[in-house]
Amino acid sequence: MRTDTLLEQLCKINAIAGFEASASNEIKEIFGRYCDKVWVDTFYNVIGYKKGSSKNGKKIMITAHYDQIGLIVTGYEKNGFLRVSNLGGVDTKALLAREVTVHGEKDVFGVIGAKPPHLLSGDEMKKNVKLTDLFIDTGLPDEELIETVAVGDPVSINSQFVRMVNGCAAGRNLDNRCGVAACVLALEKLKNIEHENDVYVIATVQEEAGLIGAISSSYNIEPDIAVVIDVCHGDMPEADKASTFTLGKGVPVGVGPAFNKNVTQQLLKLADQEGIPTQLCVEAGDPGTEAWAIQVSGMGIAVVEVCIPLRYMHTGAELVNLEDVDTAAALVSKFAAGRTVRLSKEDADDTDTD
């Protein structure tokens, strides 16, 4: 399947953190094309399973969260306005003058306006606006608004998926539909190669709201090894060079206390052997991704992380290079399939005759 078409389809889906129920079916349908079994659990994590060919294979779990950040209705104001709070880490800087969809009894179009510049003081214009200062303008009469939209209804931020030069694409929800796309592409590849390991690919929920899906699914699956696919910060001129990664220059792989050193080394070695370029993404502690929760699930799980560089995270103008999605998928599929996965030295002595 073409990466851009797949990603476009995925980004259209609305799966706001905590409200993924309706989206889970579409993800299930996509996963189902490439898996032996696929199911949706109580929290709407979508789990695809591909059986491995060997009895001695490991249990590998690949996760990518499919929830997106959004807003939630907290109250009404006269004349068709709604007050909101956040679901996930919304940057209010990127909310002014945006179009949104309020998901009530039916979808309602809305606009987040702003006080006109003529009425703003010099000081006001210098400060960032707070969420409590924003309103959604639905243009509906109050009685109809109250019938259609309830407190607690989720709101998604509208944005188009746009193909750009250089193989790039921009839009909303690229965090983390890129990861989900990489999962789908990896599954597609795995369908055509023999793999020893049992592979579970999970589109997880509520990463943006506390890594909830990762916590529950890693407890339930109890994998030997987990691979997290998430976005990381792409290169942006004003940002710290240590925390950003060049688009199209290789897959950033996580290194640091959160990631299993041994398995990460194997992943890097495999990438080298397969001619897949990598970059090192150094994290001093909590990487802010599902890896942090998975690592301490149960009696501990060996985690590695593979990232896709993304610029302007959590705005409606997220930008990636599609080649990075492909490279991540290639690396993950080879890793999941390969015999090179060993947890310990003893393990190595058993199965490896090199």
Partner 1 sequence: MIELVRELAGTYGPSGREDEIRGVIRKKISGKVDELYTDTLGNLIAVKKGNGKRIMLAAHMDEIGVVATYIEENGFIRFSNIGGVSPVFSLGQRVRFANGVCGCVCYEEKLKEPKDLNFSKMFIDIGTNSRERTMEYVSPGDIAVFEAGTIEQNGRYISKALDDRIGCAVLIELIGQLNEVKNEIAFVFTVQEEVGLRGAGTAAYAIKPDLAVAVDVTNTGDTPGCNPLSIELGKGAAVMIKDGRTISHPLVKNKLIDLAKRFDIQYQLEVIEKGGNDAGSIHTTAGGIPSGGVSIPCRYMHSPCEMVDAGDVNNVVKLLKAFIQSED
Partner 2 sequence: MIRTLIELTKIDGVSGDEEQVRKYIEERVEKYGLEHMTDTIGNLIVRAGENSGNLKVMLAAHMDEVGLIINHITDNGKLKFAAVGGFDTRILTGQHVRIGDSKIPGVIGYKSIHLQEKKERESAVKQKDLYIDIGAKDREDAEKYIKLGDFAAFSSEPVFFGKNRLKAKALDDRAGCAVLLELVKEKWPFELYACFTVQEEVGLRGATVAAKRVAPDIAVVIEGTTCADVPEVSGHEISTEIGKGPALTFIDRTAIADSILLRHFESTAKKESIPFQWKQTVSGGNDAGKIQVSGSGVRVIAVSVPCRYIHSPVSVLDIYDLENTKELVKKALLTLPLVFDGRQKND
Interface with partner 2 (CB under 8 A) = 240-243, 255-258, 260-261, 280, 282-286, 295-296, 298-302, 343
Tally of CB atoms within 10 A around 105: 10
- The least distance separating partner 2 from the CB of residue 47, rounded to whole angstroms, comes to 22
Contact 56, 118 (CB under 8 A): no
For 199, residues 6+ apart whose C-beta sits below 8 A from its C-beta are 49, 50, 52, 60, 62, 190, 336, 337
CA R_g for the chain: 21
Residue 21 or 296: the one with the smaller Cβ distance to partner 2 is 296
Sole window of 40-48, 138-146, 240-248, 276-284 interacting with partner 1 (rule: CB under 8 A): 40-48
Residue 18 or 234: the one with the smaller Cβ distance to partner 1 is 18
Q: What are phi and psi of 290, to 5 degrees?
A: -60, -20
Contact 40, 24 (CB under 8 A): yes
Residue 151 or 282: the one with the smaller Cβ distance to partner 1 is 151
Q: What angle is formed at CA 240 by the lines to CA 175 and CA 63, rounded to 5 degrees?
A: 30
For partner 1, the binding residue among 3, 24, 86, 264 (CB under 8 A) is 86
For partner 1, the binding residue among 7, 73, 187, 302 (CB under 8 A) is 73
The helix/strand/coil state of 142 is helix
- The least distance separating partner 2 from the CB of residue 84, rounded to whole angstroms, comes to 32
The 8-class DSSP code of residue 207 comes to: S
The helix/strand/coil state of 24 is helix
For partner 1, the binding residue among 23, 27, 69, 72 (CB under 8 A) is 72
The partner in contact with residue 53, picked from partner 1, partner 2, none with C-beta cut-offs of 5 to 8 angstroms by kind, is: none
User: One of 8, 20, 207, 208 is an active-site residue; which one?
Assistant: 207
Site string for partner 1, 131-150 (x = CB under 8 A): -x-----------------x
Q: Alpha helices, DSSP H only, in the chain?
A: 3-12, 21-32, 122-126, 142-148, 174-190, 212-221, 261-273, 290-295, 322-337, 345-351
Q: Active site includes 194?
A: no
The helix/strand/coil state of 284 is coil
121 contacts partner 1 (rule: CB under 8 A): no
Contact 285, 256 (CB under 8 A): yes
- The least distance separating partner 1 from the CB of residue 206, rounded to whole angstroms, comes to 7
Residue 138 or 217: the one with the smaller Cβ distance to partner 2 is 217
Sole window of 38-46, 52-60, 114-122, 342-350 interacting with partner 1 (rule: CB under 8 A): 38-46
234 contacts partner 1 (rule: CB under 8 A): no
- The least distance separating partner 2 from the CB of residue 295, rounded to whole angstroms, comes to 7
Residue 210 or 300: the one with the smaller Cβ distance to partner 2 is 300
Residue 42 or 353: the one with the smaller Cβ distance to partner 1 is 42
Pick from 206, 201, 9, 19: which is nearest to 104 by CA? 19
Burial group, residue 59, by CB count within 10 angstroms (0-12, 13-18, 19+):
middle
1 contacts partner 1 (rule: CB under 8 A): no
Residues that bind partner 1 (CB under 8 A): 17-19, 21, 41-43, 72-75, 83, 85-87, 132, 150-152, 206, 209-210, 212, 215-217, 219-220
User: Any idea which residues carry the catalytic annotation?
Assistant: 207
